Amino acid sequence: MKPLTHEEALTIMRQEIFRIAPDADMDSLPTDARFREVLELDSLDFLNLVEVLTERTGVRIDEEDYESLLTLSGSADFLVARTAGHAAAQ
């Protein structure tokens, strides 16, 4: 996987959250909002999100990484850093 830009990572997050919660109004969701709470995603929804993010980005997301995935912006920062690190390791 090539390193993601912040905007690419945000797009992936929005697409995958919308896939899990199709009624979510992603356009009005602030990037600094705690999306799990705002969108009322339960634990299973969140684990599904983690799984699809891993599949789509190639980034391993461990349980200790979950606190980095609280907001869209934080999640995007996490994905950018991990894809940059992954590309550098290859």
Confidence band (pLDDT; 50, 70, 90) for 84?
Answer: very high
pLDDT tens-digit profile of 54-74? Answer: 999 999 999 999 999 999 999
Domains in the chain, ordered, with CATH?
6-24+31-89 (1.10.1200.10)
pLDDT tens-digit profile of 14-58? Answer: 999 999 999 988 888 999 999 999 999 999 999 999 999 999 999
The dihedrals phi and psi of 71, each to the nearest 5 degrees, come to -125, 165
What is the end-to-end Cα distance of the chain in Å, rounded?
10
Note the pLDDT of residue 27: 86
Q: Which DSSP letter does residue 34 get?
A: B
Note the pLDDT of residue 77: 97
Q: What's the chain's average pLDDT?
A: 93
For residue 87, pLDDT over 80 is answered with: no
Q: Distance between CA atoms of 74 and 72, rounded to whole angstroms?
A: 6
Note the pLDDT of residue 40: 93
Collapsing DSSP to helix, strand or coil, 80 comes out as: helix
Token pair, residue 54, equals: 């891993």
Collapsing DSSP to helix, strand or coil, 70 comes out as: coil
Note the pLDDT of residue 26: 87
